Amino acid sequence: MTQTVLITGGSRGIGRATARLLGARGWSVGVNYTQNLAAAQETVAEVERAGGRALPIAGDVANEADVIAMFDRIEQTFGRLDALVNNAGIVAPSMQLADMDLARLTRIFNVNVLGAYLCAREAARRMSTDRGGAGGVIVNVSSAAARLGSPNEYVDYAGAKGAVDTMTLGLAKELGPRGVRVNAVRPGLIDTEIHA
């Protein structure tokens, strides 16, 4: 049976590379994006060229209704969900914390923390064996910034990724006995648009 994954922020950067790799391994891939449909369609085409199936799925991870709809859509299209790559994340222009306004902080934490939690929650609800699921995998994409702090650049982003690390530890213990393996990867500087 073909396995299915939802990749948040799957239209570019690390998300796109992950989608392409899983496509080459025969997975069905939900490519989540927020606004750039053209980029998501490019990723879908790359997944299909690699040998997988793919579907662009619009949605803001910081919006609960969008998150639920994303998970519903992938299940309606491909059947059960086997994995979540919790990858969506944003940064803002480099500056010291003293210069950051509330709007920036709110958006960074809403996407990078609340969004990651909402997506992990939906995956847990659908994959946990004690809730009728068949088990699965959650991979949270953290950042080396969580350990380095990103001083004078984006301590808000670094703190958000620290929260993702902590969520990963807790969920690994909470969901492991329920058939869901939870891990994180902590990339360093990768040549993607987020760093450009």
The fold of 4-185 is Rossmann fold (3.40.50)
pLDDT digits (tens, 9 = 90+) for 159-196: 999 999 999 999 999 999 999 999 999 986 655 554 44
How far apart (Å, rounded) are the C-alpha atoms in residues 108 and 47? Answer: 29
Give the pLDDT confidence score for residue 2 in this predicted structure: 87
Give the pLDDT confidence score for residue 92 in this predicted structure: 95
pLDDT digits (tens, 9 = 90+) for 127-168: 999 999 999 999 999 999 999 999 999 999 999 999 999 999
Give the pLDDT confidence score for residue 195 in this predicted structure: 45
Q: Which of 33, 117, 154, 157 is catalytic?
A: 157
> Token pair for residue 67?
């998150």
Triad 92, 43, 91: Cα angle to 5°? 5
pLDDT digits (tens, 9 = 90+) for 81-99: 999 999 999 999 999 999 9
- Does the active-site annotation cover 33? no
pLDDT surpasses 80 at 22: yes
Q: Where are the domains of the chain?
A: 4-185
Q: Which helix (H) or strand (E) holds 30?
A: strand 28-33
